[in-house]
Structure 1
Amino acid sequence: MQVSVETTSGLERKLTIGVESSKIDGVALTKMKELAKTQRLNGFRPGKIPLNVIKKRFGAHVRQDVISDVMQRSFYEAVVQEKMQPAGPPRIEPVSMEEGKDLEFTATFDIYPEIKLEDFSKVEIEMTTAEVADDDLTKMIDTLREQQANWVEVKRKAKNEDQVVIDFVGTIDGEEFNGGKADNFELLLGKGQMIPGFEEQLVGTKTGDEVEVKVTFPEDYQNKDVAGKDALFATKINKVNKKEALKMSELAEKLGIADGKIADMKVDIRKNMERELKQAITSKVKQQVMDALVEAHDFDMPNALVEQEINQQKQQALQQFGGDASSLPDLPNELFADKATKRVKLGLIVSEIIKQNKIATDQEKVKVKLDELASVYEQPEEVVNYYLSDEKRLSEIEQLVLEDSVIELVQAGAKVTEIKVTFDELMNPKDAESSSKESADVKEKSADVKEESSETE
């Protein structure tokens, strides 16, 4: 077998492989002799078909099958011979397939890049720390009391934050339309659940009222039959309910605390908050380390792996739409390219760190990780057995443990800056950002006022 290697671009390699014709002709002849024993043709006794008849009838097909097998086998022999590591399946193209002559074909593929790991001391990480303060615990308990609250009927006019129980029938130009009718529909006022303008017209109504709600469906409404049209909803108010937060003892009982002891409930809630806080800090650090690793390394990416990742992400997107391909018309690769490239790059870096540092799977850490994942479920033992009973599922946990080991290694060598924040800032960053923005706006306006004042002076 003759092999020549060509670097076409970046990580792309092109092998030109030559195989002696005798290897193909010999295998093809053997296969045709086997066919002569098993084939049935009119005019010939079983097993007595002349070889020239078999060759004339099946020769081209047999030869093509043999060539296909030889090309695949020869390709893998060639990459072993040349000490190459393909990053994806090859694109095989025949050059010469003429009978009686040597076979020649090309195989084009990507190889894995050589990755030079950067010094971890150049990696900068902001280590966010926080603790569960008494105020955080009080706020969480208040939130839980609200979430578990009861709805109590009231004999007054409805206002925002109330729940109204209504019957309604919608019509457009006097005709009812599909999806425009409901009985005893529970609607929370002021939350924007319904078409713009609908809820506002129910504020001020009371039990027994019958009102006509006039609205216009948005132009981009999902039901195209009613989009942009005026509608009239004949609406009857069956009930007006207000939310009544649970008492502390009631909440304790609902959370399964024995005898409804408030002190025990607080201990349990704090423990849960501290566990969630620890997970959030770990997750945040992990993301920072991974982002820093991607940023710190620069190397060519195997297109085959990126394309494979793009296809996986497309498949995941399809599953999110219920597996209906028609709901994802021609999604362009560009939509997934950046995320796919980053994931592939990170995977290659992590694999190289594991390889160079000889990091092995620690089964004790795997057990700890399993127990940690299972602890949030009512039947933790069943969750642990769920993973242990399937090698594929268990390997996913082992991979997580390996990633954690990589994070610990990088973090130990990185430049770490500790930043202390509140529980809310860490667990509810959007709320914190909103609060910070409001504060910044106030400061900016104050600065403007001072500037105008000094100009006046």
Structure 2
Amino acid sequence: MPGGVTTATRELSDSRVRVEVEVASEALEHELGSAARSIGRDLKIPGFRKGKVPPEVVLQRVGRDAVLDEAVRRALPGWYEQAVSDAGIAAVGDPHLDLAELPQKGAPLQFTIEVAVRPEAKLGTYKGLEVGRREPAGSPEEIDRELEGLRDSVASLENVDRAAQKGDFAVIDFTGTVDGEPFEGGEARGYLLELGSGRLVEGFEEQLEGASAGEDREVRVAFPEDYRAEALAGKEAVFEVSIKEVKEKRLPELDDDFATEAAGFDTLDELRADIEEKLRAEREREIEAEFREAVVDAAAEAAKIEIGHDLVHAKAHEMWAGTRRRLEQQGIPPERYLEISGKTEEELVKEAEPDAERALRRESVLAAIIEAEGIEVTDDDLLESLRQATAAGGVKPPSDEELTKALDRARSQGRDDALREDIAMRRAVDLLVEHAKPIPVEQAQAREKLWTPEKEGQERSEQIWTPGSSTG
């Protein structure tokens, strides 16, 4: 994105700022030309091939104001990102943009932004914090559960000459009808079903218990009101089921042969030792992640951070917006997610407020530590971060030239500052953890129960700012 964006910032009350933004006429004309070329690719005008309509002809036919309106609509998000970056603010939640009118040719574009900003933290003690840390204690029972799961994964299914019971597998043919009519998905042949698994509609599997191979049964069920196929929701169905085979799951013996066949170990003891080591490594990762969060929370607890409810609510909305984007990337309509949860968007936002406040406190104290410690992030750091992110995705390692282009794109889109802050915050957490003193969790919990005047004052403050919320 070309330059030409200037800003002036004024602080408002309640952790909000107003940013006055001016986009130079040259930058505006550049976006106008880009929009005209884009529109021209789809415009059909006699005498010009499709996609070859010159920008000046587009401006004549469509009108400068209409093209300028489209240009501003497309460029505004980028201008907003650049304005926020240039103003040096950490915006929280959705901004309110006020664009009075589109300018005449040769004049700059002016608009204002009002947005909540992350509060500043007045640091307390943040080095040498004593924080509870769990020990990676395991148990033989955990290893046994893993072994049972492995046994189950390599179990065999063998035909039995008896009536089916819960836990057995049945090979069935079935045909279902609703109001006497067949429906999509209501028929199958050679279907392998574990009785008691709950894979089919409630009541179906239970009605097959006691059946033997070669037997036919009529199964009656009712689809739940919230069934995923709306045409069947709340309807009663009748299935004609033919039991072809009844199979019993046979688990292998827990011995050296099992260890060899299932996992490639010579002995069962070697397999148990390997499982124990993997469980320990997994617990270590979990404990380390917990400890890092607890250290940041302890630093935030020691700092003075004033956060109003409006700011918490804005952050909760921002978090929900992130959830929406992730759902859409996964092909899940957010509306469907809301339907399944049985809650409205505003209810989910309200539920997210405690997490939103916690996130604001963490971000605020880390930002203050970055400034206090003079933590800086270079372009080389950004390139290495992009390289690691690409490697984590399992794709071919990019060349230095490709990484540089990716960084240039991030910079042109105003995203490089966010990348720098992310790296800086991780380094701030590293610093906190490096200087923290792990103590037994029981000792840390006992300290939390002790009364201090500071805690009482904080509790009162929290009641003023976020009534009824939890900051655990």
Q: Could you say which TM-score interval applies, normalised by the shorter chain?
A: 0.5 to 0.7
2-structure distance, mates of 1:172, 1:199: 18
Q: Distance in 2 between matches of 1:405 and 1:355?
A: 10
1:332 aligned residue (320, 345, 364): 345
CA deviation string 1:29-66 (max 9, x = no partner): xxxxxxxxxxxxxxxxxxxxxxxxxxxxxx997xx99x
1:304-353 Cα shifts (integer Å, max 9, x gaps): 87765543222113234x15466468963563452455445433433332
Distance (whole Å) between structure 2 residues aligned to residue 398 and residue 109 of structure 1: 19
Aligned AA (1:11):
S
Q: Is the 8 A contact 1:11 1:302 kept in 2?
A: no
**What's 1:417 paired with?**
440
CA distance in 2 between counterparts of 1:264 and 1:235 reads 47
Which residue among 283, 306, 309 is the counterpart of 1:299? Answer: 306
User: Are 2:324 and 2:334, in contact at CA under 8 Å, matched by a contact in 1?
Assistant: no
What SS class does the counterpart of residue 277 from structure 2 fall into? helix
Residue 314 (structure 1) aligned with residue 321 (structure 2): no
Instruction: Name which of 353, 356, 364 aligns with 2:372.
Output: 356
Q: Give the SS at the match of 1:317.
A: helix
CA contact (8 A) 2:204 2:219 kept: yes
One-letter code of the match for 1:350?
A: L
Matched, 1:14 2:18: yes
The aligned counterpart of 1:240 is 246
Q: How far is 1:253 from its partner? A: 3.2
* Deviation (angstroms), 1:170: 0.9
Q: Which amino acid aligns with 2:16?
A: E
**Structure showing greater Rg:** 1
| Deviations 1:424-444 (CA, angstroms, capped at 9, x unpaired) | xxxxxxxxxxxxxxxxxxxxx
The alpha carbon displacement at 1:199 in A equals: 1.1
Structure 2: which 5+ residue stretches go unaligned? 1-5, 30-62, 408-415, 444-472
SS in 2 for 1:128: coil
Q: Alpha-carbon deviation of 1:87?
A: 3.2
- Inter-CA distance 171–404: structure 2 relative to 1 (3 Å threshold): farther
Q: CA deviation at 1:384?
A: 9.3
Of 86, 89, 113, 1:86 maps to 89
Given residue 86 of structure 1, which amino acid in structure 2 is its aligned partner?
A: I
Change (3 A) 1:250 1:275: same
Cα distance in 2 between the residues matched to 1:357 and 1:280? 28
- Asked if the contact 2:120–2:368 (Cα under 8 Å) also holds between the matched residues in 1, the reply is no
| TM, length-normalised to structure 2 | 0.59
Are 2:212 and 2:246, in contact at CA under 8 Å, matched by a contact in 1? yes
Contact 1:91 1:107 in 2 (8 A): yes
Instruction: Decide which of 153, 168, 180 is 1:147's aligned counterpart.
Output: 153
CA deviations over 1:150-169 (Å, ceiling 9, x no partner): 22222221111111111111
Output the amino acid matched with 1:299: E
Match of 2:12, SS? strand
The match for 1:131 is 137
Determine whether 1:271 maps to 2:274: no
Task: Say which of 160, 165, 170 aligns to 2:166.
Answer: 160
Are 1:129 and 1:419, in contact at CA under 8 Å, matched by a contact in 2? no
Aligned pairs for 1:110-121 within 5 A: 110=116, 112-120=118-126
> Which secondary structure state, in structure 2, belongs to the residue aligned with residue 238 of structure 1?
strand
Q: C-alpha root-mean-square deviation of aligned residues, in Å? A: 5.5
**1:318–1:324: 8 Å Cα contact kept in structure 2?**
yes
Is the contact between residue 85 and residue 111 of structure 1 (CA under 8 Å) also seen in structure 2? Answer: no
CA offsets per residue over residues 105-141 of structure 1, 9 Å max, x none?
Answer: 7554555533212323796743211333444434422
Displacement after TM superposition at 1:413 (Å): 3.6
- The answer (yes or no) to whether the contact 2:312–2:357 under 8 Å persists in 1 is no
Give me the whole-angstrom Cα distance separating, in 2, the residues matched to 1:246 and 1:398.
53
Label 1:218 to 1:381 Cα distance change in 2 as closer, same or farther (>3 A). closer
SS in 1 for 2:200: coil
Q: 1:243 to 1:75 in 2, by over 3 A?
A: closer
Residue equivalent to 2:463: none
- In the other structure, the counterpart of 1:222 is 228
Aligned with 1:231 (options 237, 245, 251): 237
Q: Which amino acid aligns with 1:357?
A: E
State the alpha-carbon separation in 1 of the partners of residues 244 and 338 from structure 2.
Answer: 44
Please say if residues 221 and 228 of structure 1, whose CA atoms lie closer than 8 Å, have aligned partners that are also in contact: yes
The answer on whether the counterparts of 1:79 and 1:85 sit within 8 Å (CA) in structure 2 is yes
Superposition deviation, residue 235 in structure 1: 0.8
Moved more, 5-14 or 380-389: 380-389
What SS does structure 2 have at the residue aligned with 1:141? Answer: helix
Deviates more, 1:384-393 or 1:85-94: 384-393
* Cα gap change, 1:111 to 1:212, in 2 (>3 Å): closer
Distance in 1, matches of 2:138 and 2:64, equals 76
How many pairs are equivalent? Answer: 370
What percent identity do the matched residue pairs reach?
25
State whether residues 3 and 15 of structure 1, in contact with CA within 8 Å, keep that contact through their aligned partners in structure 2.
yes
Is the alpha carbon distance of 1:409 and 1:241 closer, same or farther for their aligned partners in structure 2, counting shifts above 3 Å?
same
User: Could you say if the C-alpha distance between residues 401 and 201 of structure 1 is closer, same or farther in structure 2, counting changes exceeding 3 Å?
Assistant: farther
Cα distance in structure 2, aligned partners of 1:94 and 1:415: 56
Inter-partner Cα distance in structure 2 for 1:102 and 1:153: 81
AA at the equivalent of 1:193? R
